[in-house]
Amino acid sequence: MPHPYWLQSAIRRNPRSTGPNRLPHLPNLAKPQIVTVVQPKPQQKRRPIRREAPYWAIGRKRAMDWSEQNGFPEPGDGGQAALERYVAEVLAMRGHHPAESTIRGYVRKWIDEYRARVNNGSPR
């Protein structure tokens, strides 16, 4: 195999520059080298931490007061629905209108919290 053009011109200029030990900076031209390129995975965008809105503290306090007066709701007695309506009214009077499903989730959490406090740490 003939030498590449740039190497031929280098040999013509300096005939003693040929040989394996004379040009250590040149790659081995007889064997092609296979280079694999590993691309890093694209980093996912980090979402900001979602913080609880401050008006939920107001709703929690009112829900705990309501639970102190009426006790915690039992399954099927309609107490959770009444508590949800009460919390929705309290928040609406302050200008906040969260979704019904969001209110239901918070009220469920507050009922479990109140029940655990009343039952000395037992959730049910």
| pLDDT per residue as tens digits for the range 56-81 | 999 999 999 999 998 888 888 889 99
Q: How far apart are the first and last CA of the chain?
A: 85
Q: Kindly report whether the global pTM for this prediction surpasses the value 0.75.
A: no
The whole-angstrom separation of Cα 52 and Cα 119 is 27
Residue 85, pLDDT above cutoff 90: yes
Output the six-digit token pair for 69: 């007066």
For 1-15, 20-34, 60-74, 93-107, which range has the lowest pLDDT when averaged over its residues?
20-34
pLDDT tier at 6, thresholds 50, 70, 90: low
Identify the pLDDT of residue 42: 82
Counting every residue written for the chain, the total comes to: 124
pLDDT tier at 17, thresholds 50, 70, 90: low
Q: Report helix angle 100-118 to 55-70, nearest 10.
A: 50
Residue 26, pLDDT above cutoff 60: no
